[in-house]
Amino acid sequence: MTTEETAKICLMTTGGTISSIYDERTQALRPGLAVDELLERLPKGLRNIEVIKRELFQLDSANAQPHHWQTLAGAIKQVSEEIKDLRGIVVSHGTDTMTYSSAAVSFMIQNFGKPIVFTGAQIPASIPWSDGPRNLLDAMRVAAFGDLGETVIVFNGEIHRATRAKKVRVNSYDAFDSMDPSPTGILARDIVLYEGRIRRNMSLIPRFDTRLDDRVFLLKVFPGLPPQALAKIIDMGYHGIVIEGFGSGNIPTDENALTGGILQAMDQGCFVVVSSQCAFGQADLSVYEVGHAAMDVGAMSAYDMTSEAALVKLAWVLGHTREPDRVRDMMGISYVGEMSYSGTPGQLHAP
């Protein structure tokens, strides 16, 4: 398809900074712009893109919950079944939890065959110098004409795989980076896409699977963390814990050792995954004794997954099984390019 032909896409709005307005009562920003008001900020006469509009939420993304991910995936399923010649989906979303929501959609919608593009803004679209209109227009362009068949984040002229992205800047327009490998592509005069992406394939039969176990906890290790914290998490009824270790996934094993807490968690049917606090690199529990100790008591490595992707993936896996060997097997499979491995990104893996 060329950019001279009309492409049909769906824009789903969920709130976030891009749709925010200033509330005189609270003297703070809150989501408030409707989908038509967002589109009014774009250049007139988008003659080659037809936009189907869906308003889902008016949420600050700090308020997004796992059930919102499921609702969003369900809405994408519905519109894709209703409109057979749909070229892609754009989701406008707050930046704070965009990596969680987009990663969740990646796992819940596989083999979609066309782009699901998340975008947003650092400055509300209601403000003249907002980055929102540019990001939204770029996202619509990628959804309509990009040779992509996966869920991505389009922001500040870059295209990031959703499961490999992290928000790294609070105020800069350049809010997101890809955490190894490099971005999936960039927006220039043309859409420039790199090797390793999942390509558009309109003949695929999408696989929708929104099962989740939302009882997964993310715990960041810090000097002085009391090991009793793990017991408290288990007592609260959590079924999985992602521990952000130091460096390559290292944890305290001497004073305030966490190994006993990990062993207790595993004995009580609570699965533990260790990721790294570092933005780049991977959790390799075999390097140091303090990492090996976690592996010896049953913790799984997140490898080079981001902590956000590891948490969402563990929730998705536990939504399918609590059988220990199957959980371990599924956490070791790269379903949607969320970690580096020797297979083909986008290969279908049945849970």
Strands (E) across the chain are located at 7-15, 20-23, 28-31, 49-59, 86-92, 109-110, 116-119, 151-155, 158-161, 165-167, 176-178, 185-187, 191-193, 207-208, 216-220, 240-245, 271-276, 300-301
Q: What are phi and psi of 244, to 5 degrees?
A: -85, 100
User: What does the pLDDT average to over 318-331?
Assistant: 96
Specify whether 186 is located in the same domain as 164.
Answer: yes
Residue 282: CATH number of its domain: 3.40.50.40
Please say which residue of 208, 225, 254 terminates a domain: 208
Specify whether 242 is located in the same domain as 187.
Answer: no
User: What does the pLDDT average to over 76-87?
Assistant: 95
71 catalytic per annotation:
no
pLDDT, one tens digit per residue, over 189-238 is 999 999 989 999 999 999 999 999 999 999 999 999 999 999 999 999 99
Phi-psi region of 121 (alpha: psi -120 to 50; beta: other; left: phi over 0): beta
Compute the distance between CA of residue 225 and CA of residue 295 in angstroms, rounded to an integer. Answer: 19
What mean pLDDT, rounded, does the chain reach? Answer: 92
**Is residue 344 situated within a structural domain?**
no
Specify whether 144 is located in the same domain as 48.
Answer: yes
**Is residue 147 situated within a structural domain?**
yes
What's the pLDDT at 44?
Answer: 76
Specify whether 196 is located in the same domain as 302.
Answer: no
Specify whether 60 is located in the same domain as 99.
Answer: yes
Catalytic residue among 13, 60, 96, 166: 96
Specify whether 173 is located in the same domain as 283.
Answer: no
User: What does the pLDDT average to over 55-60?
Assistant: 96
Specify whether 325 is located in the same domain as 194.
Answer: no
3-state helix, strand, coil in the chain (%, to 5): 30, 25, 45
Specify whether 231 is located in the same domain as 174.
Answer: no
What's the pLDDT at 77?
Answer: 97
**Is residue 182 situated within a structural domain?**
yes
**Is residue 342 situated within a structural domain?**
no
Compute the distance between CA of residue 131 and CA of residue 61 in angstroms, rounded to an integer. Answer: 18
Specify whether 48 is located in the same domain as 120.
Answer: yes
Q: What is the percentage of the chain residues whose pLDDT exceeds 90?
A: 81
Question: How does residue 6 score in pLDDT terms, banded at 50, 70 and 90?
Answer: confident
Sequence-distant (6+) residues with CB within 8 A of 100 are 64, 69, 308, 311, 312
Catalytic residue among 13, 14, 60, 95: 95
Residue 193, strand partner residues: 185
Specify whether 231 is located in the same domain as 181.
Answer: no
**Is residue 346 situated within a structural domain?**
no
Helix spans in 128-182 (H): 132-145
**Is residue 116 situated within a structural domain?**
yes
**Is residue 309 situated within a structural domain?**
yes
174 catalytic per annotation:
no
Domain count, the chain: 2
**Which tokens in the block code for residue 313?**
């993936």
Residue 113: CATH number of its domain: 3.40.50.1170
**Bond into 115 cis (ω within 30):** no
167 catalytic per annotation:
yes
Specify whether 204 is located in the same domain as 73.
Answer: yes
Specify whether 204 is located in the same domain as 223.
Answer: no
The answer to whether the pTM exceeds 0.85 is yes
96 catalytic per annotation:
yes
**Residues spanned by the domain of 169:** 7-208
Catalytic residue among 13, 17, 163, 259: 17
Give the Å distances, CA to CA, from 108 to 77, 286, 350: 10, 31, 12
Catalytic residue among 8, 77, 147, 167: 167
**Is residue 89 situated within a structural domain?**
yes
pLDDT, one tens digit per residue, over 90-136 is 999 999 999 999 999 999 999 999 999 999 999 999 899 999 999 99
Please say which residue of 145, 174, 208 terminates a domain: 208
